[in-house]
Structure 1
Amino acid sequence: MLSFGLANQTEPAMAEQSYNSSSSPLPETVMCNHSVDYKWTAYTVVYSLVFILGLLGNAGALYVFCKLSVKNRLSTIILINLAVSDLVFVLTLPVRVGFYLRELWAGSGGSGTSAGLPPHTQRDMDVLDLACRASTYLFYISMYCCIYFLTALSVCRYLVLSGRLSYHNLVYCRRVRLLCLGIWVFVVGGTGSYIAALGGFNVAATGCFEPSTHETWSFLYQVNLLVLVVGFAMPLVLVLLCYALMIRHILRAQSGRRARDVALVCLVLLVFLMCFLPYHIQRTLHLEYVHRADVPCEVKAKLQQSVVVTMCFAAANSCLDPLIFLFVGNGFMRVVREILQAWGFRDWPWRKGSYSANTGNLSCEGAATPPMQPIQLPLMPAQPLIPAQPLMPAQPLMPAQPQGTELSDSSDRTSL
């Protein structure tokens, strides 16, 4: 089983300064003294915003999907699993933010004495370490489930657009449910295999998921290469292939109704290229150089600084995914409009519209189009009424002359 639960080498450990490990210290090739105080503020601000926006967006999306009258659709099944995977990560953020706030207030090593906070007890350190490990595992589960669900959504969109399957086919719906279940089992099982490989939660480290030996770092680097290929590179290539074929189909169709499909392509590519690509590049570079003795500490310090940026972009994925629901979720905007109207927003400006794909019978809510106003023609000035003319008396009909009279008259004239 693939090991997805990589060590938290790309995010400074939540509990790395909370306790002193009883195991052997980290090799000097890894340990470099540089300030990491900037990370507390950055993580606290970004994770707080991601928690608020991600919780509202994904929990609200699940509520809307529960209100849909038709739930047996390929896109709806995948999007529900996508929202759940985002919530798995979002719900762990308060634990991280709480730890970062404590370190931010303490200011020095997490002892708590400089800020008037009580020092950490052994029980507190154990709880922090367990919370760090659990939240990190859930982060990787959420991220790679999201990658696979976006890939499955891209493939389904292309197959529907090209006419190879229908969204309403119950057989395909059952297969998609099995596919989503397989993704969950695959990712969660891969994380569990990593736990077993490193001896469960009893990892000898100075902090949460910080290995203490050179061999452990080498093992993580090899696992990272496998995860990089199977967990990110292959899905990205498949997404690019599907969307290239989809755009070619859209251009051939020359239909103005495909604007939402183009927007979906741009949004999914934005998630992959902005949220996932920098993270995987930085993680690979970090594991490549962190345990090497010939790499100066300045380079390692720059890599640690880039950790903050890539982690924040990776976390922002939970806020961008709800935007996909607007372009794919069938009837999503209709239910949103009904909910807003029930809450008192009667003047919801978006007008219901729909379009049907020739192959998928996919109906989507239309764009914001103002309602048509009745045409008012200008009134002509009133004209004075003309009095009716009196009727003339009927004239008596002239009696018809006999036919012989005209002939006799003409004969008389010729005789003259």
Structure 2
Amino acid sequence: MSLSNQSCGSSIDDLRRYQHHVYAVVYSVILAPGLLGNVLALWVFQAYVRETKRGVVFMMNLAVADLMQVLSLPLRIYYYLNHTWPFGQPLCMLCFYLKYVNMYASIFFLVCVSVRRCELIMHPLRYRSNRRRGDMCVCAAGWLLVCLGCLPFPLLRNTSLTPDLYTHTAPYDLTPNPYASSPSSYAPAPTSSPTPTPGPTSLVAVCFAELPMREVSPAAGWALMVGAELVGFILPLILVLTCACLSAGSLRVHRGEGEGGGVKDHGEKKRALRMVLSCAGVFLLCFSPYHVTMPLDFLAKADALGSCEVREMVLRCHPVTLCLASLNSGLDPLMYYFTTDEFRRRFSRPEIPESFSLAPRLSCTSGGGEKDLPLTPEPEL
């Protein structure tokens, strides 16, 4: 018997209850603002797409990715509150898959938004060229890359084992042992555990991280881990931080100088810089902690860490970082609101339906007739 089964078996039930509590609370907090914020973001951005605003395509796709994650949260909350999954294995795997698709699609589109805004600051003439079709091709390629790259997450969960490995019999726990990766670790908790609550024996289906892992070689496991870290985190982090540094440096150098033929409104460049810095802040807050604990969680579940205390600390920290990765679904709409003036202006107008107007105009009487006067052009998003 491994050290984890010997020394840590008595804490498995407590760890599972702790994880379910954390997930249920955080996902409940994210659900309402994430749903409302991303629906409103899509409502605002669809007008900009019709107006061929460059760069808004990336923000619209970011909002779609966030909305996909938010729509799966009610099922997750139900599972973590009731400790059972009655919706079937296919829907479980779909929700599990969408979690990672949202994470890495959000990372991809945050990088795209950062690069676009950095381009506005450093090369305004190039930014103003119409490349909306090129942006849409980049988005399509990004979705394809993310969807294919995230397939290993559900595929590594073993859905071909016997039903006993997907259920636990109350009051004795038969859920997967989070400290070991082999199916042999799925065993009832010892009778020396605290006295269970009396009640009828029942089978309870499990889902998400409690699904058993497939047997993979250590080399394959490490290859997948390193690939996810490099392509899904390290490279995007370098790009986002580089855009933030270049944007801040360029704005500081050109402060007070004219921009002949470029972005005439210096405030527009400041808004672009705020967006770049906000993307970097969301990236560091939401995705950095998860990608720091992910390899440690892998080692803990592979029984490769030295002590039970270290394993338990990692396994208690990892759910918190996974919740932070979901927090971007609620933070991204706030980023749009505080870094784009037009986003706020659409909600401050008395007549909301007029915000759908593609070319707002004023009608005034001059002489004997009426003529339309266009309003001041709207700034680039």
TM-score w.r.t. structure 2 length? 0.70
Provide the C-alpha distance between the structure 1 equivalents of 2:115 and 2:126, rounded to a whole number of angstroms.
13
| Counterpart in the other structure of 1:46 | 26
Q: Is 1:337 the equivalent of 2:353?
A: no
How far apart are residue 285 of structure 1 and its match? 1.1
Q: Describe the shift of the 1:213–1:159 C-alpha distance in structure 2 as closer, same or farther (beyond 3 A).
A: closer
Within 5 A, what are the aligned runs for 1:394-405? none
The answer for the alignment partner of 1:237 in structure 2 is 238
Shift of 1:275: 0.6
Question: Which has the larger share of helix?
Answer: 2
Match of 1:267 in 2: 278
Q: Given the superposition, is the C-alpha separation of residues 188 and 239 from structure 1 closer, same or farther in structure 2, using an over 3 Å criterion?
A: same
Unaligned runs of 5+ in 2: 166-175, 177-205, 257-265, 354-376
Pair 1:157 & 2:117 matched: yes
Report how far residue 327 of structure 1 moved. Answer: 5.2
Deviation at 1:43, TM superposition (A): 1.6
Q: Which runs of 4+ in 1 moved over 6 A?
A: none
Quick check: 2:26–2:323 contact (8 Å CA) kept in 1? yes
Which of 297, 308, 311 is 2:322 aligned to? 311
Aligned to 1:380: none
Q: Aligned partners of 2:152, 2:317: CA distance in 1, in Å? A: 28
Question: Is 1:297 aligned to 2:308, yes or no?
Answer: yes
Q: Distance in 1 between matches of 2:242 and 2:275?
A: 15
State which of 132, 137, 142 in structure 1 corresponds to 2:92. 132
Change (3 A) 1:181 1:71: farther
**Sequence identity of aligned pairs in percent?**
29
Counterpart-to-counterpart distance in 1, 2:28 and 2:70: 10
Letter in 2 for 1:252: V
Mapping of 1:20-31 within 5 angstroms? 28=2, 31=5
How far did 1:156 drift?
A: 1.2
Q: In structure 2, what is the Cα distance between the partners aligned to 1:69 and 1:180?
A: 14
Query: What is the RMSD computed on CA atoms of the aligned residues?
Result: 2.9
Pairwise CA distance, 1:60: 0.8
2:109 corresponds to 1:98: no
Cross-structure match for 2:379: 363
Structure-2 change in CA distance of 1:215 and 1:185 (3 Å): closer
Contact 2:118 2:276 in 1 (8 A): no
Change (3 A) 1:85 1:294: closer
Q: Letter of the aligned partner of 1:363 in structure 2?
A: P
Q: Which deviations, in whole Å up to 9, do the C-alpha atoms of 1:59-110 show, x marking residues without a partner?
A: 111111224485422221111001000001010000000111113xxxxxx5
CA 1:226/1:254 → structure 2, altered by over 3 Å: closer, same or farther? same
Match in the other structure for 1:190: 149
In the alignment, the residues of structure 2 paired with residue 223 and residue 203 of structure 1 have an alpha-carbon distance, to the nearest angstrom, of: 23
SS of aligned partner of 1:74: coil
Equivalent residues of 2:337, 2:343 under 8 A apart:
yes
Which of 107, 112, 125 lines up with 1:147 in the alignment?
Answer: 107
Tell me which residue corresponds to 2:133.
Answer: 174
Q: Which runs of 5+ in 1 are unaligned?
A: 1-26, 104-109, 111-119, 344-360, 366-416
What is the CA–CA distance in structure 1 between the aligned matches of 2:113 and 2:213, rounded to whole Å?
Answer: 40
Q: State the structure with more CA Rg.
A: 1
CA distance in 1, matches of 2:378, 2:237: 25
Post-superposition shift, 1:313? Answer: 1.1
> Cα deviations across residues 339-395 of structure 1 (Å, max 9, x unaligned)?
x6449xxxxxxxxxxxxxxxxx98169xxxxxxxxxxxxxxxxxxxxxxxxxxxxxx
- The answer on whether the counterparts of 2:286 and 2:328 sit within 8 Å (CA) in structure 1 is yes
Summarize the Cα distance change of 1:221–1:150 in structure 2 as closer, same or farther, 3 Å threshold. same
- Report the TM-score, using the length of structure 1 for normalisation: 0.64
Offset, 1:213: 6.2
**Letter matched to residue 233 of structure 2:** F
The answer to whether the aligner puts 1:76 opposite 2:48 as a matched pair is no
CA distance in 2, matches of 1:274, 1:164: 29
